[in-house]
Amino acid sequence: MGRRLLSLSSSLSISFCFFAFLQDAVFLVVANRNQSLTPTSSMPINRDLYHFSGDLMEHIKALVHRHPGKLTMETIKSRNKGYRAEISVITYFRGGREYDDRSKFRILLSFGQHGRELITSELAYRILSILSEEQFLPNMDPTSLNSTLDKLVIKVVPMENLNGRRLVEAGDLCERRNGRGVDLNRNWSVDWGKKEKDYDPYEENPGTSPFSEPETQIMRKLALSFDPHVWINVHSGMEALFMPYDHKNTTPDGPPSHQMKLLLEEVNYLHCQKRCMIGSGGGSVGYLAHGTATDFMYDVVKVPMAFTFEIYGDRGASSKDCFKMFNPTDLSTFNRVLNEWSAAFFTIFKSGPHKLGEVHSKVPVSTLDKGVSIDDYLDGYLMERSSRYGKKMEVLELGMQEIRTYFRLFLLSSVLLLFMFCSRISKSKYNRPVISAIPL
């Protein structure tokens, strides 16, 4: 009887788990179906203002080709579980090649992390056009500008989320996530996976684990190898100049935080007419965001000045009119946004080094701090060694990846063996012969 009860209990448990799984699966299917049936936007993309993603990248590629003494371009590809992604990185360095000159002030800029924010990638193109001197900033002295740029290495990611951008261009104008439904600005390791009461999986899906997405894997390695002094993640949806932190309602302590705020106040005064919100993302925007790129850059990569810029937002737009909410729809506003914010970035280029002080004040990325995961540390160490000695270390890096993989497999197999051992003990317990108390 005991064995039958055990078997029945096991069957019920399995059935219950399967039913729960089936229920969740049906819920997700229905939710996705309902979402797909919801009108995403009442206004289409204005093709007189905005490039298709492929056309935009071709224009940038041609720009780089015309200015080999200033710009270089590389395309980095990665994949995970059948999902592929690629990110193009343009480097500005006067003289044509970077040569790993660590005395330069290093700036890393990322645009288009959310697919629906098309205006950000257009701004990237405008900034690159000014850096190449095919376009010019009004009221900017060329001699002063060249003197500033001589001291800089600038890496620009014009379109971090190419797959998500393609979904937007196909008609899903409210899509912010990548090609498999993960919000790339929730997929970083600092405070990853925490969900607020108003958590929306369609908007904020953090992925299955930190850095589960090829796009964030590429950006992490780029940041660790480049080791920037300034990081700016460019978005749209409002007008704001944010500094860490996104996952809590505070700003960092100490002089670097004060210098960040001074720089943002200068940009707000000169280019935003004091209308931009300034402060921590978590304390200013009205909600906390967990697993963001800017918090990772500040806490793990140790970027002294890490920012999130929000360059445009139409508060009067309907919540279903995503294109209008995140992007200018008329020529006058489109040009104003690009002119004001490209000038703002060149103020960052000029004032950033002065606000930060000496270049060597940058904390080495290889410092193993309390909150740094072993994967982040190993990647940072390998990338720093590669940068310091000018040699690629693909073999060593691959070896470390293999070690981590085997270690995870070892842990998994240990758990399975423990489970099998416990199962055999349980079976042997109930398989013991029953001795009858009734004499034959």
- Tell me which residues are annotated as active site: 310
Token pair for residue 80? 């995970």
- Given a contact cutoff of 8 angstroms between Cβ atoms, the answer to whether 310 and 240 are in contact is yes
Strands 277-280 and 238-243 come out as parallel
Please name the amino acid found at residue 193. Answer: G
User: If you search the block for the tokens 């690009």, which residue do you land on?
Assistant: 338
- Residues 308 and 341: their CA atoms lie apart, in Å, by 13
CA distances from 155 to 146, 180, 200, 272 (A): 17, 27, 32, 24
List, in sequence order, every residue forming a beta bridge with 308; answer none if it has no partner: 233, 242
The answer to whether residues 323 and 173 touch, using CB atoms and an 8 Å cutoff, is yes
* Residues 343 and 271 sit within 8 Å (Cβ to Cβ): yes
